[in-house]
Amino acid sequence: MLKEKTNIPNHIAIIMDGNGRWAKSRGLTRHQGHKEGKESAKEIVKTCAKLGVKNLTLFAFSTENWKRPKKEVDLLMDLLHNSLMSELKELKDNNIRLTTIGDISKIPFIVRTFLKKVCDDTKNNNLMTLTLALNYGSRDEIINSVKNIADKVKNNIISVEKIDESLINQHLYTRKLPDVDLMIRTSGEKRISNFLLWQSAYAELHFSEELWPDFKSEHLISAITDYQNRERRFGKTSEQLT
Ligand code: FPP
């Protein structure tokens, strides 16, 4: 149980790592690891919504994940498609809005079409925004943003003097999302791996030893409790905060 009910992170971002190792340690296929990982994702989404987290962003497929064997990529896309089909009703019933970040034009047509339908069908839900990062990479996102801004400067739509944090924010995939408060990575790895680099400038980082399929509500609660015990100074001194 979460002791402190206030000071819930407004935006949690999760790098769901360790499906492959979880499967290997049980003599299962990597795909079975991802399937079990999907069950963790489902539990964590529900728990976040229940705890009052307003934004949850899951790193489901990176720009680098295309380098995996084609069979694994295909099965991951199938899993995404099946999960969207089986969970649409659940998202609706629980008042959760689905959005995506990343270049989804590379996601297979049939999956992309259904993804758009789910985003559209849930766009007025307002309990929590669940964002799936798909074909997402932070550097890719920043490059796109710079290109778009440069284009606007070239065409005299904006002046160089207008370029500030807020303008850059408006050109990122995450333009409608707040900054990340808590970034969680599972499986004992201590890296950010090109995930929300700009948006996590002041995020608290929590590294869990659990492999993603083992990461359940109690581990999420530990991560939030850890977050609640941190002092977020945003560059100020402790004295200035009190
Ligand atoms: C990392 O584990 C996981 C992924 C690259 C895919 C994430 C997908 C899921 C959790 C399942 C589906 C989720 C949704 C939202 C449909 P890994 O394969 O890198 O594990 P390893 O490092 O142990 O090999």
Ligand 1 close to Cβ of residue 17 (< 6 A): yes
Tokens 């990597």 appear where? 30
Question: Long-range contacts for 114-118 (Cβ within 8 Å, ≥24 apart)?
Answer: 114/81, 114/84, 114/85, 115/80, 115/84, 117/88, 118/84, 118/88, 118/91
Task: Give yes or no for a contact between 79 and 202, defined as CB atoms under 8 angstroms apart.
Answer: no
Query: Does a structural domain hold residue 212?
Result: yes
Q: Which domain holds residue 223?
A: 11-227
Task: Give yes or no for a contact between 184 and 16, defined as CB atoms under 8 angstroms apart.
Answer: no
Query: Does a structural domain hold residue 233?
Result: no
- CB-based burial of residue 3 (10 Å sphere; 0-12 exposed, 13-18 middle, 19+ buried)? exposed
In angstroms, rounded to a whole number, what is the distance separating the alpha carbons of residues 58 and 83? Answer: 14
Q: How far is CA 117 from the centre of its chain?
A: 20
Query: Does a structural domain hold residue 2?
Result: no
Residue 18 sits in a domain of what CATH number? 3.40.1180.10
Residue 233 is predicted with a pLDDT of: 79
Known active-site residue 78: no
From the candidates 65, 125, 144, 194, which is the catalytic residue? Answer: 65
Residue 236 is predicted with a pLDDT of: 83
Task: Give yes or no for a contact between 61 and 104, defined as CB atoms under 8 angstroms apart.
Answer: no
Ligand 1 close to Cβ of residue 59 (< 6 A): no
Query: Does a structural domain hold residue 35?
Result: yes
Q: Whose CA is nearest to atom 3 of ligand 1?
A: 17
Residue 235 is predicted with a pLDDT of: 83
Ligand 1 close to Cβ of residue 18 (< 6 A): yes
17, 83, 134: residue to mutate for ligand 1 pocket, most atoms within 8 A of CB: 17
Number of domains the chain is built from = 1
Query: Does a structural domain hold residue 74?
Result: yes
Q: At what angle do helices 30-51 and 70-93 cross, to 10 degrees?
A: 30
Residue 241 is predicted with a pLDDT of: 81
Residue 234 is predicted with a pLDDT of: 83
Query: Considering just the CA atoms, what is the radius of gyration of the chain in Å?
Result: 19
Longest Cα–Cα distance of the chain, Å, equals 60
Residue 5 is predicted with a pLDDT of: 85
Ligand 1 close to Cβ of residue 149 (< 6 A): no
Query: Does a structural domain hold residue 219?
Result: yes
Tokens 């990340």 appear where? 180
Ligand 1 close to Cβ of residue 195 (< 6 A): no
Q: What is the pTM of this model?
A: 0.96
Tokens 């991802």 appear where? 34
Query: Does a structural domain hold residue 235?
Result: no
Q: How far is CA 174 from the centre of its chain?
A: 10
Query: Does a structural domain hold residue 232?
Result: no
Tokens of 41: 């994702």
Could you report the average pLDDT of every consecutive run of 10 residues in the chain (242 residues)? 90 98 98 98 98 98 97 98 97 98 97 98 98 98 97 98 98 98 98 97 97 98 96 83 76
